[in-house]
Structures are given as C-alpha cells and as structure tokens.
Amino acid sequence: MWRSGDGALAAGAPVTNDGCPSVPHFAEPVTVVRDDADALVAWLAAGTPVLRVARADGLGKRDDKSTLFTAETVQDIGVHAYYDILRIAPTGRPWSVWVFFTEHTREFAGWYVNLEDPHARDEHAVYTRDHVLDLEIEPDRTMTRKDEDELALAVAQGRYDAATAAAIEAEAAEAEAIVADWGPPFCDGWENFQPDPAWPVPGLPERWAL
C-alpha cells in the first residue's frame, strides 16, 4: 500500500500506521516489482481502487485555490485512471520517479518526479508525504517544473514556512541535475517495463469501506 499524507494534495501529516484510516488521506494498492536496499519499485495499475481525499464542500480539489491547503476534507474512494504508473522510490531520497504508460495501450507517456518525504517502508506499506512541487519530463526529455504556484500558496496558507519551501526548491534542483545528467533511474530502461499479465489488480482492505 502506497500511503501519502492528509490534505487535498497529500502534503499534510504522513499516516504512519497500517490500521484503519483515521484522517482523510491517500492510499494506493500497488504490486511490488522490486524492494531492496537501493529502491522500492511498485506498479500502480489503472483500474485500481484507491483512497483519496476530497473537499468537504464538494468542490474539486483545485476549484478554489484560495483554500487549497485550508479547506476541510473528507475521505473518498475512487479508481486510479488514465495511466498505469511505475513508481521508483530511491531509498532515503525526497522523491519518487513515476513512469507513465497510457491506460489500455501501455504506450510510454513520460516521467514525473514527485517530490515527497523520504520513504518509510515496512512489510505492508510505504509512507510518504507530498511536497507540492513536481517535475514533468516528456518522452523527449524536455523538463519543466509543475505547480510552483501551489508551492507559493502552501506558504501563503500556512502549510509551509519559507525555509521549508526553499528546501523543497533545493530538492527540485537536485532532481533536475540528475535528469540533466540522465542518471539513474532514468537511464535504467524502466520505460520498457511490462507488468506480468498474470498480476491481479489489488484491492483496498474491506475494513476501509466508507
């Protein structure tokens, strides 16, 4: 189970135990591809049921950015859609690299660096917390920062202090340098990954039913 923090953008307090969800947060059942000292590699298939966070007022999570980090939230269940994602979480690093494949066709659609807390792992789950800022890398290796405006809103709305936001920007620069050098995991051929067709799509525990 890939578990992220609370709040509409998963940037809140990390959920640190594997009991029933106590606060609205994100949890995605994944298939473990590799789990060793270097990294956790996990497959999130389109069609997988997931826990996600929704605004209590019924608006979409980005419909009112003036309350992006302050709106009351509720637990929601949805289905992961549009892309199959291979996630590579290098041990001890503040990000995971997501390799996107278009749903159904499995066509490679690009990379993403999701800046997030270094990952805690146990036998059941990986625990992290989103850092709002992300990097998008096109199949032609064109790279852009995503959601810089939301990082500024996170400071304005009290989620981060200025020093935390600056540290996140430094993490982004560190990841950008790896992309510029085309270091691991980008050079490791994961864009050619194919899941075992026998893998079932994992589900959420029944005790998490809303």
Helices and strands counted in the chain (H then E): 2, 13
Establish if 134 lies at the interface with Mg ion (CB under 5 A). yes
Nearer to Mg ion, 41 or 151 (CB): 151
Residue 150 makes contact with Mg ion by CB under 5 A: no
Binding flag, residue 96, Mg ion (CB under 5 A): no
Please tell me the count of residues contacting Mg ion according to CB under 5 A.
Answer: 3
Please give the structure tokens belonging to residue 73: 């939230």
Q: To the nearest whole angstrom, how small is the minimum distance from the Cβ of residue 206 to Mg ion? A: 29
Contacts 24+ apart (CB under 8 A), 143-148: 143/176, 143/179, 143/180, 145/172
Closer of 106 and 174 to Mg ion (Cβ): 174
84 binds Mg ion (CB under 5 A): no
Q: Does residue 48 belong to the site contacting Mg ion (CB under 5 A)?
A: no
C-alpha distances (whole Å) from 138 to each of 100, 110, 135 are 10, 5, 10
Closest CA to 119 of 145, 91, 146: 91
Shorter beta-carbon distance to Mg ion: residue 48 or 114: 114
114 sits near Mg ion (criterion: CB under 5 A): yes
Q: Which is nearer to Mg ion, 1 or 11 (CB)?
A: 11
**Rule CB under 5 A: is residue 28 a binding residue for Mg ion?**
no
Number of neighbouring beta carbons within 10 Å of residue 180: 10
Binding site for Mg ion (CB under 5 A): 114, 130, 134
